[in-house]
Amino acid sequence: MDFEKYLRMDKLPHIWCPGCGHGTILNSFIRAFAESDFDQDKTVVISGIGCSGRATGYLNFDTLHTTHGRAIAFATGVKMANPELNVIVMTGDGDGSAIGGNHLIHAARRNIDLTVILFNNQIYGMTGGQFSPMTPTGDLASTAPYGNIDQNFNLAELVAGAGGTFIARGATFDPRQLKKLYLAALKHKGFSFVESLSQCPVSYGRQNKAGDAVEMLKKQEEDTINFKKWQQLSTEEKKLKYPLGILKELDNPESEYTVRYQKIIEQVNNEGAL
Amino acid sequence: MMKTKIFRPEKRAVLIQGDQAVVEGALAAGVEFFAGYPITPASEIAEGFARELPKIGGKFLQMEDEIAGMAAVVGASLAGKKAITATSGPGFALKQENLGFATMVEAPVVVVNVQRVGPSTGLPTSPSQGDVMQARWGRNGDQEIIALAPASVTESYELTIKAVNLSEKFRQPVVLMLDEVIGHLREKIYLSTSDEIEIIDRKRPAADQDPDQYLPYQLTDDLIPPMADYGSGLKYHTSGLFHDQSGFPDGKNETAKLMQDRLHNKLHNNLDQIILYQKDIRKDDRVAVLSYGSAARTAISAVNTGRKDNLKAGWFKLQTIWPFAEKEVAELAAQVETIIVSELNQGQLIREVKRAAAGQAKVLGINSYAGELIKPEEIRALLEEVL
């Protein structure tokens, strides 16, 4: 299969650090997109600021590299203006859950047909290792030199609670599963969200003595478990592992936001207006 | 997709508020998209679009906050729609970053700011022109902006059409600066038919444009690059980083300089198309009252009644406040002895007037900044004092 057509080959190599998991996410996404029936010319990929934000520059689509945290809000405008477009958002844990957290929950609430891939490396990487809302309590960060006292989000549950209709979690140690999750998310009609655990050996790993990328990926595998197996665990055991896989899937295309707005347009034009 | 139909079939008279006239003007100019957030005294604009846009197959979005409203209209603009948002001072502050983004990626959008008294929550239901400098300098970095200020309901309608046209023509965000009085004032106005209105659409690449050759930020003679809609197959990159003609950042200082200069010059080479004003200055007038927006209403009234008593006074009303009408005000300063700048703030645009006048005329301010209009008799008293 020709994957290069989905990349701007002249923009490579990418800027991500050696050992970074973001390239694995990009790779898995491209493989998923190639298997989807989406038209490359009718697809817009939108990102915010930070390491994840750079993904759009490498992808050969209409791409929009927006302001910090606002990718989903821009994407909402693009999708509403032309619902024929496939709109994909690539965001990070700082971009998507801190400064952009409001847009994330409200887009989920509307159930607008966006596919949001959140690169979760648990740190602000590009700015040099400050803690994010996804940095585990107790970890070290350049702005938490004595240990992080913040509680981290369970982001997948947050977005599910906000009303997102497709929620999944994958991790870079298992790119084949990531690809499957992205493909299912792309096909889903409604708000889909894939939290993608990624490793940052430089900005997170060094401060927390987490080792190199291989060690971090092994730790990722230890800390996670297949969702079906996770469901069999006791309440106490559940707290120790992050479930991976499709965590929520409600198939109801009629509840999608642009579909519902189109019904308003038809109603107003058929039945008369105010 | 539903084909949108163009506007009103017949010319008709209506009694409406300035806020509603903005909605009518935007629809007349081809706007099909609104995204925003409720705020006094601009909420009537959102309400109007919520009611009207579905009728033409357009889209209305009430977003989760002001920032998202600004982001969504830029997204819609890139997807090919004429898009508008509306707010007031506190919301305008929140919109600034993405307004700067729109300037950088050259997305045509219109931002309406129905000004109320600030700072902060201030006086939400009282008029102000306190955001004049926020409109000009509210964002990080040097950047140009077009800002228009209507002084009546009719002008709210006409200048909204103008704002949309200017944004499309120059690929430039345009700010429409109403104030609470103009936004809520009801006047009888005539809505035009579609064939009476000049409508400008952004320049797009040719239908047979080779995607491999497309430069989204091409350096053209007019300095305005043809803009492709997302989804048209040209697959281009849009970024708030300084970018070269291909749309990609290269981190070079020369690229940043080239782009800064182009963004400046695409407007400053065309000031004659952008700067709008009205004036009534007679040869022997010794004083001119310069104003804009609702302040112009009382200024013109004071001058007109003063003239009946043979006061040698004229008036100059700016409809475009940014870019500033430097040449026109310099000419005015050469013509009269004194310019009185009447504005609903502690003296914002007067700084520009003084700079343009460059000592040729004395420049005095008359100001109200706590929620009241300047009364004609206050201006009259100052006119008599000066004359």
Q: Is the predicted pLDDT of residue A174 greater than 60, yes or no?
A: yes
Query: Closest to A268 (Cβ–Cβ): which among B35, B54, B78?
Result: B54
Inter-chain touch A44–B231, beta carbons under 8 Å: yes
Q: Do residues B35 and B83 touch, judged by C-beta distance below 8 A?
A: yes
- B7 in A contact zone (CB under 8 Å): no
CATH of domain B12-196: 3.40.50.970
Inter-chain touch A62–B235, beta carbons under 8 Å: yes
Distance CA B327, CA A236 (A): 75
Which of A26, A45, A40 is CA-nearest to residue B237? A45
Confidence of residue B194 (pLDDT cuts 50, 70, 90): confident
Q: Is the dihedral of CA A71, A77, A81, A83 positive or negative?
A: positive
Name every chain B residue with its beta carbon within 8 A of the beta carbon of A78. 75-76, 78-79, 230
Mean pLDDT of B95-118: 98
B12-196 and B280-386 agree in CATH topology: yes
- B5 in A contact zone (CB under 8 Å): no
Q: Percentage of chain B with pLDDT > 70?
A: 97
pLDDT at residue B1, rounded to an integer = 36
Q: Is the predicted pLDDT of residue B154 greater than 50, yes or no?
A: yes
Minimal C-alpha gap between B79 and chain A (Å): 6
**Average pLDDT across chain A, whole number:** 97
Mean pLDDT of B68-73: 98
Confidence of residue B12 (pLDDT cuts 50, 70, 90): confident
Q: Do residues B38 and B62 touch, judged by C-beta distance below 8 A?
A: yes
pLDDT at residue B96, rounded to an integer = 98
- B327 in A contact zone (CB under 8 Å): no
Q: Do residues B364 and B338 touch, judged by C-beta distance below 8 A?
A: yes
Q: Is the predicted pLDDT of residue A59 greater than 60, yes or no?
A: yes
pLDDT at residue B4, rounded to an integer = 43
Distance CA A64, CA A61 (A): 9
Copy the structure tokens of residue B99: 């307004």
Mean pLDDT of B341-364: 98
Name every chain B residue with its beta carbon within 8 A of the beta carbon of A268. 54-55
pLDDT at residue B8, rounded to an integer = 57
CATH classification number, B280-386, choose in 1.10.3720.10, 3.50.50.60, 3.40.50.150, 3.40.50.920: 3.40.50.920
Task: Tell whether omega for the bond before A13 is within 30 degrees of 0, i.e. cis.
Answer: yes
pLDDT at residue B9, rounded to an integer = 59
Topology of the domain covering A4-271: Rossmann fold (3.40.50)
Q: Percentage of chain A with pLDDT > 90?
A: 98
- Convert the pLDDT of each residue in A73-104 to its tens digit: 999 999 999 999 999 999 999 999 999 999 99
- For residue B314, list its beta bridge partners: B288
Inter-chain touch B76–A77, beta carbons under 8 Å: yes
pLDDT at residue B192, rounded to an integer = 87
Which of B313, B305, B296 is CA-nearest to residue B374? B296
Q: Is the dihedral of CA B272, B274, B276, B281 positive or negative?
A: negative
Distance CA B85, CA B65 (A): 12
**Average pLDDT across chain B, whole number:** 96
Mean pLDDT of B36-46: 98
Minimal C-alpha gap between A100 and chain B (Å): 10
Strands A62-65 and A43-47: parallel
Nearest CA in chain A to B81: A81
- Convert the pLDDT of each residue in A25-58 to its tens digit: 999 999 999 999 999 999 999 999 999 999 999 9
Nearest CA in chain A to B54: A265
- Convert the pLDDT of each residue in A211-261 to its tens digit: 999 999 999 999 999 999 999 999 999 999 999 999 999 999 999 999 999
Inter-chain touch B79–A85, beta carbons under 8 Å: yes
Confidence of residue B75 (pLDDT cuts 50, 70, 90): very high
Which of B104, B298, B379 is CA-nearest to residue B217? B104
* Per-domain residue ranges of chain B: 12-196, 280-386
Q: Is the predicted pLDDT of residue A146 greater than 70, yes or no?
A: yes
Q: Is the predicted pLDDT of residue B193 greater than 90, yes or no?
A: no
Q: Is the predicted pLDDT of residue B5 greater than 50, yes or no?
A: no
Confidence of residue A1 (pLDDT cuts 50, 70, 90): confident
Mean pLDDT of B41-53: 98
Q: Is the predicted pLDDT of residue A271 greater than 90, yes or no?
A: no
Mean pLDDT of B237-246: 98
Name every chain B residue with its beta carbon within 8 A of the beta carbon of A84. 1, 231
Inter-chain touch A75–B235, beta carbons under 8 Å: no
pLDDT at residue A274, rounded to an integer = 67
> How many other β-carbons are positioned within 10 Å of the β-carbon of residue A38?
18
The 3 state secondary structure assigned to chain B is CCCCCCCCCCCEEEEEEHHHHHHHHHHHCCCCEEEECCCCCCHHHHHHHHHHHHHHCCEEEECCCHHHHHHHHHHHHHCCCCEEEEECHHHHHHHHHHHHHHHHHCCCCEEEEEEEECCCCCEEEEECCCCHHHHHHCCCCCCCCEEECCCCHHHHHHHHHHHHHHHHHHCCCEEEEEEHHHHHCEEEEEECCHHHCCCCCCCCCCCCCCHHHCCCCCCCCCCCCCCCCCCCCCCCEEECCCECCCCCECCCHHHHHHHHHHHHHHHHCCHHHHCCEEEECCCCCCEEEEECCHHHHHHHHHHHHHHHCCCCEEEEEECEEECCCHHHHHHHHHHCCEEEEEECCCCCHHHHHHHHHCCCCEEEEEECCCCCCCCHHHHHHHHHHHC
Q: Percentage of chain B with pLDDT > 90?
A: 96
Mean pLDDT of A133-159: 97
- Convert the pLDDT of each residue in B155-189 to its tens digit: 999 999 999 999 999 999 999 999 999 999 999 99
Inter-chain touch B83–A77, beta carbons under 8 Å: yes
